Amino acid sequence: MSNNPTANDTVLLRMEGITKSFPGVKALDGVSLTVRAGTVHALMGENGAGKSTLMKCLFGVYNKDGGHIYLEGKEINFKNSKDALENGVAMVHQELNQALKRNVMDNIWLGRYPMNGPFVSEAKMYQDTVAVFDDLGIHVEPTTIMSTMPVSQRQMVEIAKAVSYNSKIIVFDEPTSSLTEEEVEHLFRIINMLRDRGCGIIYISHKMDEILRISDDITVMRDGTWVATEPVANMTMDKIIKLMVGRELTNRFPPKENVVSKEVSLSVRGLTGMYSALRDVSFDAHKGEILGLAGLDGSGRTETLETIFGAATKKSGTVTLNGRDTPNRTTKEAVANGYALLTEERRATGIFGILSILENTVISSLKNYLQGGFLNQRKMEESTDWSISAMRIKTPSQSTQIRSLSGGNQQKVILGRWLLTNPEVLLLDEPTRGIDVGAKYEIYQLIIDLAKQGKTVLMVSSEMPELLGVCDRILVMSGGRLAGEVSAKTATQEEIMTLAAKYV
């Protein structure tokens, strides 16, 4: 942590007064960032605070409007990421841009293959790759095809590539979002090693515990401006949140006011997926209950929701709602049976980006507005108004394109869409992913309100504090099976993690 022996006062990277405007928006307003050699510098802020824009200005993806960037005292202005890479500034992206059909060493030496006359020297490439991997303690065969490797290993390759360029500054953008605990540990060992060699690491993440653990300095941004830069020793989780949100957040979760009824509403028996790893999942959910689904990525949580909803094909098993069999062969049938699914990838499968709030709101409940075969515009507007006020959606008007709203407001629009279908069961897949800290609270409140009205909520989340704070019971999945059940009141994160690893 703070007593990092390698930290010194040599400044590697200094970004000063960076300004960037887009038509009608000032995305960055005089932001400064100073990274010392041999330190991990965390960059924090809510979505939209300008972290990505700042990094894009560094890498030349955007042309900055004003300000200066100095690398080891020399002013620089990269044309593109390749230019940056060649000058010792690398980025390990959250979404890895790799040639998946090629092998590991091809990816590392892409664009600068070691040559032997007119031919690429495969042997030298192999040796150099092994050397870099040994150096970092990575165990990957250089001839493995990228697409056959798990994300964590592909990330290691990306890091190795950065190291092979002798990068002095390495930016990690949400590197742990799809890693297991163990893989995170490995990643941290490598980051610490790079730091000890005198590299400057910029670490972008939403995960407070990681930040507090690994970083030396923390810079917080808000609304495109610099807010604070402090050594980690002076920071606490609450203080960071306060700086990010700009106000005090005393409670992360709203009071749980929902009452779990004795009456079982949703009953799932022996659910097995046709094309997924889902095997023999059985559980009951009660009216007014918020039932959490925990587990690692790929443990079958999402598949459970999708199979119940008919978005993934079921091989066997039954789904009953209030004693009535609801096979949900298609999503349309599921909607008619009183189910609603909030998907994990909001942008890919949730919103209709270029369509208006109104169209996004009414799409699942169109039959309610039919009058003599035609849609009644006034009724649709009324419903949209209801949704905007009930969900507390911040939008200039109903005709605003949904893509111009913030993630939290988009999520509220989709929740509103589903409430208009009057569902009995809400299947929520990562309902707060990519949403600002402040907006998360509002989403939690909405979820608890729904349970209060007697609806059944099934909620998948990777954030364990969220599950413990919002749910009544938590089902833990592992390897496509149900590993166990815990009560949210008494369970600990360790307990859940142990169950999650049961069938891995």
Partner 1 sequence: MAEQTTTPNSTIKKGPFRKIRAEIDHFNTLTGKDRQRYITDMLFNNAMYIIIVLAIIFIAIRVPSFVSLSSIVNIISLTASRLPIALGVAGCIVLAGTDISAGRAVGLAACIAGSLLTTANKIFPGMGVQPLPLVILIVIAVGALIGFVNGFCMAKFKLHPYIVTLSTQLILYGTILLYLKMGENNGQTLSSLSEGYRNLVAGTLFTIGTVAVPRYVLYAIILAAIMWVIWNKTTLGKNMFAVGSNEEAANVSGVNVMRTIILVFVMAGIMYSITGFFEGARIASINGNTGFNYEADAIAACVIGGVSFVGGIGKISGIITGVLLLQIIFTGLNFLSVDQNILYIIKGLVILVACAIDMRKYLVRK
Partner 2 sequence: MPEEHRPEQPELRGLYRHVKISVRTLDIIIVAGIAAMVLLVLWSASGGGYAVRFDARGGSDVPAQSVRYGEAVAEPAPPERNGYSFGGWFADEAYSIPWDFQSNRVEGDTTLYAYWIPD
Q: Cβ of residue 19: shortest distance to partner 2, in angstroms?
A: 13
Q: 43 in helix, strand or coil? A: strand
Q: Which partner, partner 1, partner 2, none, binds residue 375 by CB below 5 to 8 Å per kind? A: partner 1
Shortest distance, position 45 Cβ to partner 2, whole Å:
8
Least spacing, CB of residue 129 vs partner 1, in Å: 33
Are the CB atoms for 10 and 171 separated by under 8 Å? no
Could you tell me which of 304, 311, 309 has the C-alpha nearest to residue 282? 304
Q: How far is the CB of 396 from partner 1 (least distance, A)?
A: 5
User: Closest CB to partner 1 among 183 and 344?
Assistant: 344
Binding mask 52-91 for partner 1 (x = CB under 8 A): ---------xxx-x--------------------------
Rounded CA-CA distance 159/92 in Å is 6
Rounded distance, CA 402 to CA 383, Å? 16
# residues near partner 1 by CB under 8 A = 56
Q: What residues line the site for partner 2 (CB under 8 A)?
A: 22, 25, 27, 47-48, 50-53, 94, 173-174, 177, 204, 206, 346-347, 353-354, 403-407, 433-434
DSSP per position, 430-455: STTTT--HHHHHHHHHHHHHHHHTT-
Residues 354 to 373 in contact with partner 1, rule: CB under 8 A = 354-355, 359, 362-364, 366-367, 370, 373
Q: Smaller CB distance to partner 1: residue 55 or 136?
A: 55
Binding status of residue 404 toward partner 1 by CB under 8 A: yes
- Residue 356: both structure tokens together: 């208006």
Question: Among the residues of 48-180, which ranges form H helices?
Answer: 51-58, 81-86, 104-109, 122-136, 151-164
Q: Per rule CB under 8 A, is residue 115 in the interface with partner 1?
A: no
Task: Report DSSP letters for 330-349, one per residue.
Answer: SHHHHHHTTEEEE-S-HHHH
- List b or e across 3-25, with b for residues whose CB sees 16 or more CB atoms inside 10 angstroms: ebeebeeeebbbbeebbbeeeee
User: Residue 126 burial by CB count (10 A; 0-12/13-18/19+): exposed, middle or buried?
Assistant: middle
Q: What span, in angstroms and rounded, lies between the C-alpha atoms of 394 and 186?
A: 41
Q: Which stretch binds partner 1 (CB under 8 A): 42-50, 165-173, 256-264, 266-274?
A: 42-50
Q: Does 438 bind partner 1 (CB under 8 A)?
A: yes
The option from partner 2, partner 1, none interacting with 343 (CB < 5 to 8 A, set by class) reads partner 1
Nearest Cα to 457, choosing from 368, 345, 369, 341? Answer: 341
Partner whose footprint covers residue 52, from partner 1, partner 2, none (CB < 5 to 8 Å by kind): partner 2
Interface residue with partner 1 among 8, 22, 82, 166 (CB under 8 A) is: 22
- Give the tokens for residue 316: 């066997």
Q: Residue 199 is inside which H or E element, if any?
A: none
**Binders of partner 1 in range 138-177 (CB under 8 A):** none
378 forms part of the interface with partner 1 (CB under 8 A): no
- Residue 183 sits at the vertex; the CA angle it makes with 348 and 49, to the nearest 5 degrees, is 50
Binding site for partner 1 (CB under 8 A): 21-25, 46-49, 61-63, 65, 223, 309, 311, 330-332, 334-336, 341, 343, 348-355, 359, 362-364, 366-367, 370, 373-375, 377, 394-397, 400, 404-406, 409, 417, 421, 436, 438
